[in-house]
Structure 1
């Protein structure tokens, strides 16, 4: 394993992991096993450098898309787990990483969200949500929501970036909806909903972007209590989902309405 090329913005302790990641997917069991052992050793011996290397790989446009995607998936799996004990341990390890390195990783994730190809953007969206699930409840990563909003309002619009940003917002909403406490402020929730509604607009030419917006809105129902608990506001959101041109199919609109109604009836115990 070698150090990454200088001048590329690699965080301290980062090393070259491209070959390791690709070899970990090699059809030859011997090659794959050796790469997996090296990755495990790096993770154990230098956890912070391991995370930084993965984030650097993901956000490095000179690397192969496959290794970038794999780097993102490995990074995601080091931030979350289905088993509660393991998840708690992973969160603790992340919180033990130097704040400046955590900030560098967060910056790399937002950078990757705006880079080609789309599969890398989509992977970055997944990782962003996992980091957000740890950081936002601690009132860290204050620049996340404004950064995502900037992607949505950029001119001229980049439809691939808008799609990935809406995916990230949807994943973040899903993570926030699973939490007991309110994490996002009412102002942040309104910003998210405004961005989502803009993605559902009939003026949005990309069907993939509109679909990502619908999914994000469905996830937002889980925590946007004020907006979806108020019938007038809920109707306003849905009326502006696509203008007169029906950018969002009627069955999806109805699903969002029903989801909001069921959610709030459930909260009241009805």
Structure 2
């Protein structure tokens, strides 16, 4: 049996799948959309494919699992064209503004403490080693992005634990490099480091904002070939579909985290002087 059409009295939120396909079983539709997303299919093609399933289920009163079988298997069997922008080079291009922001965060956090104490910034072997570890970590994320996303969406608890362990390992390696590889390489004025870090942070945020304005930084939305979808009644759905949320995530998260680190550094400096 198919899922009932949502009535006006139905208090449950209108998810994307229910707005596109009210006659299709919600869990089946979610798995179907998710698999096509992970395969890199464009949003308009995903919407068209789900609309065809919806049309069949609405006309025949047959449930999607009975008509099409397993959602993941059926999604793969469609062999829909894959968006070219899902290539590793495109992913690296999309991550470039974030990498610039992270570089600014590191340099600014390294320089802020010496600037407060009036001393120079010493760039050590550990600083360079930590930067290399961070770059390799980003490259690893790109390399295993597809299986990592599949694990995250299908086994969130296990993926969350592995992500936590990975972050601890990367952070531990960076800290160990700073503590053990303390041979100085360059010595510059801390104020110059603060200026360079702040400049990179601002440039990365501006780059991310420019990408969003050019529609390169936003996720490809899933659309219906039959016309505009009704608005989401879910707070989470409205948030995720909001352009302001995408802009805030891309341009403000790392600067906000950097301000938190600087505030902590300032507080520690105040308690030790």
TM superposition score normalised by structure 2: 0.22
More strand by share: 2
Q: Which has the larger radius of gyration?
A: 2
TM-score norm. by structure 1 comes to 0.22
